[in-house]
Structure 1
Amino acid sequence: MSAFNRSLSPLTAAVLLALSGWAVADDANDEFEFNPYFMSLDSQQRIDLTRYNQDLTPVGTYRAELIVNGRRIGRDEVSIKDRLVDGKAISKVDVCIKRNTLSALDINVEKLSAEAQTQINDAKPDSCLALNQLLPENSVAFDANDLTLNLDLPEIYLIQRPRGYVNPEQWDQGITAATLGYNLNASRTHYGNKDYDNLYGNLNAGFNLKGWYFRHNGIYTKPNDSSGDYNNINTFVQRDIAAIQGRLLVGDANTKGELFDTLSFRGAQIANEEQMLPNALRGYAPVVRGSARTAAKVVIRQSGDIIYEKNVAPGPFEITDLYPTGYGGNLDVTIEEADGSSQNFQMPYASTSNLLRPGTHHYSLTYGKLRSSWLKSEPVLLEGTYRRGINNSLTLYGGVQGNEDYQAIQGGTSIGTPIGAFSFDVTHAKTKLGEAWGVDQGSMSGQSYQLKYSQNIESTGSNLSVAAYRFSTDGYMDFTTGMSTREVMSNGYNKDWIRRAKNRLSVSAAQTLPEDYGQFYISAWQQAYWNDDRTDRQYQFGYNNRFKSISYGLNMTRSQDGYGKAQNTYMLNIMVPLDNLFGFNQMGITVNRGPDSTMNEQVFVNGTAGEDRQYNYNINAGMTRDGREDSRSTSLVVNGSARTPYTTVNALAGAGKGYETYSAGLSGAMVAHSGGLTLTPYSGDTYALVEAKGAKGAKMVSYPGIKVDSFGYAVVPYLTAYQMNDVEISPKGLSNNVELNLTRQKVAPYSGAVVKVSYDTTVGYPALINAPMANGKALPFGADVYDEQDRHIGVVGQGGRLFARVPAMEGKLKVIWGDAVDQQCSLSYLMPKEANPEQDNVIKFNSVCQ
């Protein structure tokens, strides 16, 4: 075999192509040939340069980026092969890809020639298809310098796809791996001459096996002087099915909540997975905002179950990382302060419109048992829902829900109009009350009429969302109310112990004001009951604006529970940038007036430090005045965190009138795989496992603090499922002895997958060797350099100097510039004693090639 039929390394290709400045296109009309004598110092010393002629990219297999009409598809193998005519190679090459790679390019095969269609249809999945023979002339260009394959095709030859589309064949199920995300915290509060200790742990464990993803999420709490309690939030296994754009889930989960309220269940569910749709075809968990007076713990519940818990510093907070909890069902938020007090509020949670794009549909089918901390029993739950977009203006939907003792059926429609989007549906429900006091109590039935409206007026910056629920009869109950009523009656209580909703109205609106006058928002929520004269209400008004670089906001909230007790809260926030003054980035001021005229004022400064901003710190000073007792107290809290390459460490210390509090914690994740155990300071669900052997210290671009560890691995979190993600590695921080042959790849993982992304490295010492031949003549320009294992490691450059990445401090090299015996030589080398491979960019020395 000719030495030049070998695959060239990226290093060789880069050097040669940079010097000769060419890229290969298919079937060019103008052919030319390099003069081999022109590139030799000796006119009689001919070098084989046929591989550099037009249409003769070095034969071999490359991992190149595929680009179709400027759209980056991903990276895959591209083969450059000699074109054969009557079994003999001619002076042209073919650009080949595998049959299963061709499908990812979205080429409309039906628009190609009949001969091309036959070749493609008859090809095996791993067959190599010559693109420049199948596609229109001059539409294929392979650049070995940039390692890109560009296809420039008329749109007629392409299948039209929406923006953000990724071919399902490119979705990656990932490798077999185990994951564990953790958030651990230990705290101690000294209050009332007594210490109160608390341990908290949030664990998110997973195991992935051939497209099956096992998950467990749980919370461990151990309050002071009590045994620990572990709450299983959910345990399940899921598998995403591309053919139906859906997900099969078995275990603990929530119903979708699109038509009926969200319910927690244990059982099985199959439902559409909207993430599988391209971005252009997609449409939720709410953002929870509040303000803590002290170093506090925020607890969020839905249907009585804890779904989130977090320690926060004094001042305003914003929680944006709730697990998706469906489209309906209020959230109960509790702020547990360090001084023993607590704040409570309810967050209404309802979407406003069920419109879908034409031809798309949403579906779900759930069977299992209801999981609710409000019920001792676990009633069976069966629920099925379906929505379909008929056209741009009309969506129809319906669903059923129930069991042997409860049945509900719903039908509705969503309509888009120039004045906004409307949806209207009717639900009929029947509940068997069961037996109480030895007598069958019969059943109750009724209807619920629901109207929703939403409108966003971009020209005026107005957004209006209205959701109205009216329960027309006393006999209507939703599933949870029906099951609760049955249970209390079976225990000897009257059915009116459980309140039955009569009507509910929620309104929210936001308005951006002209010029620089800011934005305000309002929201209101009210619910009345058939069997209770009391009404629940909540109103909120807010205003936000900026003055130059200073931002400020005002929020007012009034809530009234079913007992008629009203609470008013007013909050003013001011944020001032400090431009790293004394190491601080920002100063904030918060003034909060709560119920009973209690005033709380907070002033804080925060900052970041470190090359990767891996250190965060905050100092908070506060003062509270009790309007009832005319007393005041002050507090001081200092907290910070440090993100290492393996975990994130946080600590807090605070003191106020009558109390002291301290806490420390760790957060991050670990991934166990066939190559070992890899740690990361970030916790997510969908990861890339980067493998780059020998590249210890290399940084992952866009993920501060993540570096390749000493075993050659790094974990990149927060990948977007079913979309192309750039996973890029930076050579910054690498030893000079290591070269990355590739620095960026694209992956489209399944949701929950651990995708392996491998980067080949060349390990060795960069050397520039002046090695003339034994006869004193210079080595030919472009000659290849091989090590003792016959690996291609370098090339001869101008002046006959040899550049190679040699594998050891001493050894032997072979230089080849043709097939003849007199077109190759060998040299021995020994690095100079004064050479410092760890610091020198290139080590220079002399030798002789014999």
Structure 2
Amino acid sequence: MEIYKLAVSGCGLLLVCSASATEFNLDVLDKSMRDSVDISLLKEKSVVLPGDYFVAVAVNKNQIASGRLVTWRTQGKNTEPCISPELAQNFGLKDDIYRALPQDNGCVDFHSRPEITFTLNLAQQQLNIAIPQAWVAWKSNGWMPPATWDDGVAGFILDYNLFASTYRPQEGSHSDNLNAYGTTGLNAGAWRLRSDYQLSQTRSDDSTETAHAISRTYLFRPLSSLGAKLTLGETDFSSDIFDGFAYTGASLISDDRMLPWELRGYSPQISGVAQTNATVTVKHSGRVIYQTKVAPGPFLISDLNQSVQGTLDVDVAEEDGRVNTFQVSAASTPFLTRQGQVRYKVTAGRVRPDLSHSTVDDTFISSEASWGMLSNTSLYGGLLMAGSDYRSAALGIGQNMLWLGAISFDVTHAASQFDNGKQENGDSYRLNYSKRFDATDSQLSLAAYRFSERTFHSYANFIDHQQDKSGTQDEKQTISISLSQPVEPLNMNLYANLLRQMWWDGDASTSASITAGFSFDAGPWKSVSLTTTFSTTHYEESDNDNQVYVSLSIPFGMAQRLNYDMRNSNSTSHTVSWYDASDARNTWGVSAGVESKKPDNGAQLRANYQHLSGVGDLQLAGSYAASDYTSASASWNGSFTATRHGAAFHRRGISNEPRLMVSTDGIADIPVQGDFNTTNHFGYAVVPMISSYQPTTVTVNMDTLPDGVTVTDNTLREAWTEGAIGYKALASRAGQDINALIRTADGKYPPLGAVVRSDNGGMDVGMVSEEGHVWLSGVNGGQQFNLQWGKNTCRITLPDALTTLPQPLMLPCH
């Protein structure tokens, strides 16, 4: 019976202890140690002392701010955080919930909503806020509410892509080519000014041709309250209904990137086959939007901006001068709008017929919208009017048929009045279909089937007729189909696409390709890959241009591969190559091969090299074809960003995506977000390729810091608006790491856990361990530090010279 009484008494004692402050019995410690342990912060469970704390803020485990100054103040018997109205707006509360919360002395009062809890994690310096999901307007873990988006700082940007090549045939004229393209711009608040430029120079034995242009200049800013982007100036007409063209004017367009990931659109992919070390150029309405070097064989471009719409022209320029040109459709798949949601586009301006800055005389106005009428049904339509000569209207419906896929259908009517007085009215019909087969993981997309009557003219086609009455073709029918299918038993992925275009007054063209990729093990070689591709391009009344490609790739280790390639088109080639990427910064490859119908059986040697650095990427390539030609090429791409805080060259940014400038107190060679972005001589680094409106975590690579360098607050998580130049100063210090032994004025050593702080109180540089031992990192001679435990403080001063002193270094604390 006594045992049960003891058990009950013990449980009661535990409950009492858990509900009150914890008292530590110091008698269990040796008498000499009772005054050497600072336990003042351990007495209360989850107690936060009043004061200011610089903390990260997370709502429902989703970090919304990497660093905010929050004040804890005494409220009755408790200490509570003072949440400013500005910070509370970032919680993503529904409007009616937020408006009902009162304010008290500049702090939002949450007492009426006790379900909203605040917990400070001192170890992680993070304020964790728990809010019932029914009270928040956003729920996606990969998204932050618009109130948290950062417009960045004012600054200047320059993105550049430089190409140089030379071609030396055995017979015929030599040629040298230089070209560059890119973007330059200014940021001020939420406004961004951008200009796209392109330059080229081609020299042969007897002539030199030079061209340069500012292809467009425009001003834009995000309007997060409307979920849209405002654009002014020279840009491209973007529409889900009407054909695209270049214009000068203004637009207000819903931006899907402001939505959570699951509601956003897609970016088109471009695939093809290169015969040599080729240059792939993607153009939209004559403007270069993408250019890159590719190795011989199949290539895939998947990093185009998702805002690109319409037909894209793709040029594959081989190093021997041959150019293969084809088109791809960037039409959107059947779009559905959430029930009750509206997406819209409003545009006005004047058409730019070419890359010059001149415009046509008539002003056009266009508007379109998509409305989520029901859960699985959307209505969409639009109007386009230009002067008194052109009218166009469209109406369509999109339907989610669940297991049958998604489909949309629309009709566009156009009325055209030409300069010669001729009037034509016609209709165009379009059908979109998309289906993913979950059972087989297949994706089928009929991206666009369109039939246009002979008398139908899109506005872009109407302008072409007005500018060039004889050379403009009228579209009759276009069909684009793509299919992807993995075959698990064979470790195979199958891709197929087809684009067929027919014209009322011109030849039809058809391009198609099918690719099958296999992966298997062969004896000691694991993950051997086999790729086969067949592509064809057919023009009426001309021969087909067929290509067959077979590639076998055998891995040696993790980053080296031996490849065999066979290509057959007008001729047949066989190539053996070696590729080495064991050094992530320096990759290279060499190849040798033969080709039929060429001098000396087309004996060829090729080599390529790529160097990745923190300030840009370098690519070199060279070829020798026996008794035929030699060629060489080089490319360099990168960016430059300057703000009032500092400036840095860095790796290339992508389109108008944000970039982040990081300052590390003038300390160089600190790796930020991987090993390729390191701070320059002045302590600045720029991290490019950050997604707009998407929360991004940027960290310092602590494992590869230079000796004697320490960085605090080494992780930040923010979301930036499109085109923003973010800025973040990371508290850093550089110096020596020393082992010291601290003694107080009475000859004793400070308690275990006492903290050594910099003279200005900004950074902790060490913590006292047993018997006064402390490890001080990143310190320099002559520096002074404060030692603090509980309410006690004293001061230490380092000798002027640290290198010649023995360690542990004895430091008196006064």
Report the TM-score, using the length of structure 1 for normalisation: 0.84
Residue 215 of structure 1, CA deviation: 1.1
Q: Which amino acid aligns with 1:588?
A: N
- 1:844 equivalent in structure 2: 808
The yes-or-no answer on 1:76 pairing with 2:63 is no
CA distance in 1, matches of 2:156, 2:355: 34
Q: Which amino acid aligns with 1:215?
A: R
Alignment of 1:313-352 (within 5 A): 313-324=295-306, 326-329=308-311, 331-352=312-333
The yes-or-no answer on 1:588 pairing with 2:563 is yes
Alignment equivalent of 1:385, drawn from 368, 385, 389:
368
The yes-or-no answer on 1:650 pairing with 2:633 is no
Residue 726 of structure 1, CA deviation: 0.3
- 2:154 equivalent in structure 1: 176
CA distance in 1, matches of 2:748, 2:498: 89
- 1:19 equivalent in structure 2: none
Pair 1:129–1:769, CA change in 2 (3 A): farther
Q: Which ranges of structure 1 fall in alignment gaps of 5 or more residues?
A: 1-26, 436-440
Residue 714 of structure 1, CA deviation: 0.9
Alignment equivalent of 1:464, drawn from 428, 441, 444:
444
Q: Which amino acid aligns with 2:156?
A: A
Asked if the contact 1:399/1:409 (under 8 Å) is kept, the reply is yes
Q: Which ranges of structure 2 fall in alignment gaps of 5 or more residues?
A: 1-16, 522-526
Pair 1:813–1:152, CA change in 2 (3 A): closer
Alignment of 1:33-72 (within 5 A): 33-34=23-24, 50-54=40-44, 55-72=46-63
CA distance in 1, matches of 2:94, 2:275: 62
Alignment of 1:227-306 (within 5 A): 227-306=209-288
Alignment equivalent of 1:420, drawn from 396, 405, 422:
405
Asked if the contact 1:696/1:709 (under 8 Å) is kept, the reply is yes
Alignment equivalent of 1:372, drawn from 353, 362, 368:
353
Asked if the contact 1:699/1:732 (under 8 Å) is kept, the reply is no
CA distance in 2, matches of 1:813, 1:122: 40
Asked if the contact 1:692/1:760 (under 8 Å) is kept, the reply is yes
Asked if the contact 1:37/1:45 (under 8 Å) is kept, the reply is no
Pair 1:770–1:48, CA change in 2 (3 A): closer
Residue 247 of structure 1, CA deviation: 0.5
Alignment of 1:173-212 (within 5 A): 173-191=151-169, 192=171, 194-212=173-191
Asked if the contact 1:724/1:748 (under 8 Å) is kept, the reply is yes
CA distance in 2, matches of 1:109, 1:230: 52
Q: Which moved more, 1:302-311 or 1:423-432?
A: 302-311
Asked if the contact 1:39/1:781 (under 8 Å) is kept, the reply is no
Pair 1:433–1:164, CA change in 2 (3 A): same
Pair 1:226–1:65, CA change in 2 (3 A): same
Residue 756 of structure 1, CA deviation: 0.7
CA distance in 2, matches of 1:795, 1:466: 65
Residue 169 of structure 1, CA deviation: 1.2
CA distance in 1, matches of 2:450, 2:88: 55
The yes-or-no answer on 1:778 pairing with 2:749 is yes
1:175 is paired with a residue of what secondary structure?
Answer: coil
- 1:755 equivalent in structure 2: 726
CA distance in 1, matches of 2:88, 2:227: 22
Alignment equivalent of 1:32, drawn from 5, 8, 22:
22
CA distance in 1, matches of 2:315, 2:59: 52
Residue 445 of structure 1, CA deviation: 1.0
Residue 502 of structure 1, CA deviation: 2.7
Residue 748 of structure 1, CA deviation: 0.2
Pair 1:478–1:730, CA change in 2 (3 A): same
The yes-or-no answer on 1:660 pairing with 2:630 is yes
- 1:673 equivalent in structure 2: 643
Residue 233 of structure 1, CA deviation: 3.3
Asked if the contact 1:254/1:325 (under 8 Å) is kept, the reply is no
2:518 is paired with a residue of what secondary structure?
Answer: strand
- 2:8 equivalent in structure 1: none
Alignment equivalent of 2:509, drawn from 514, 536, 539:
536
Root-mean-square deviation over aligned CA pairs: 3.4
Q: Which amino acid aligns with 1:744?
A: T
Q: Which amino acid aligns with 2:560?
A: N
Alignment equivalent of 1:568, drawn from 528, 532, 546:
546
Asked if the contact 2:709/2:778 (under 8 Å) is kept, the reply is no
CA distance in 2, matches of 1:520, 1:44: 73
CA distance in 2, matches of 1:240, 1:279: 18
Residue 482 of structure 1, CA deviation: 1.9
- 2:199 equivalent in structure 1: 220
* Aligned length, in residue pairs: 780
Residue 160 of structure 1, CA deviation: 5.2
Q: Which moved more, 1:196-205 or 1:449-458?
A: 449-458
Q: Which amino acid aligns with 1:101?
A: L
CA distance in 2, matches of 1:296, 1:283: 30
Asked if the contact 2:653/2:659 (under 8 Å) is kept, the reply is no
Q: Which amino acid aligns with 2:670?
A: A
Residue 478 of structure 1, CA deviation: 1.7
Asked if the contact 1:691/1:757 (under 8 Å) is kept, the reply is yes
2:462 is paired with a residue of what secondary structure?
Answer: helix
The yes-or-no answer on 1:809 pairing with 2:781 is yes
Residue 593 of structure 1, CA deviation: 1.5
Pair 1:809–1:457, CA change in 2 (3 A): same
What are the superposed Cα offsets for residues 582-614 of structure 1, whole Å, 9 maximum, x if unpaired?
A: xx61233322221xx42133332222243xx11
CA distance in 2, matches of 1:600, 1:607: 23
1:424 is paired with a residue of what secondary structure?
Answer: strand
Report the TM-score, using the length of structure 2 for normalisation: 0.87
Pair 1:512–1:470, CA change in 2 (3 A): same
Alignment of 1:681-696 (within 5 A): 681-684=651-654, 685-696=657-668
Alignment of 1:516-531 (within 5 A): 516=490, 518-531=492-505
Q: Which moved more, 1:279-288 or 1:708-717?
A: 279-288
Pair 1:504–1:187, CA change in 2 (3 A): closer
1:243 is paired with a residue of what secondary structure?
Answer: coil
Q: Which amino acid aligns with 1:180?
A: L
Q: Which amino acid aligns with 1:673?
A: T
Residue 35 of structure 1, CA deviation: 6.4
Q: Which amino acid aligns with 1:640?
A: Y
Residue 408 of structure 1, CA deviation: 1.0
- 1:22 equivalent in structure 2: none
- 2:669 equivalent in structure 1: 697
- 2:581 equivalent in structure 1: 608
Pair 1:352–1:150, CA change in 2 (3 A): closer
CA distance in 2, matches of 1:773, 1:323: 63
- 2:125 equivalent in structure 1: 147
1:749 is paired with a residue of what secondary structure?
Answer: coil
- 2:415 equivalent in structure 1: 430
Pair 1:143–1:58, CA change in 2 (3 A): same
- 2:771 equivalent in structure 1: 799
Residue 255 of structure 1, CA deviation: 1.8
CA distance in 2, matches of 1:577, 1:184: 33
CA distance in 2, matches of 1:455, 1:787: 62
Residue 813 of structure 1, CA deviation: 5.5
CA distance in 2, matches of 1:123, 1:606: 66
CA distance in 1, matches of 2:477, 2:796: 91
Residue 338 of structure 1, CA deviation: 2.3
Asked if the contact 1:178/1:208 (under 8 Å) is kept, the reply is yes
CA distance in 1, matches of 2:746, 2:488: 83
Q: Which amino acid aligns with 1:67?
A: A
Residue 704 of structure 1, CA deviation: 3.1
Q: Which amino acid aligns with 1:148?
A: Q
Residue 286 of structure 1, CA deviation: 2.3
CA distance in 2, matches of 1:237, 1:67: 34
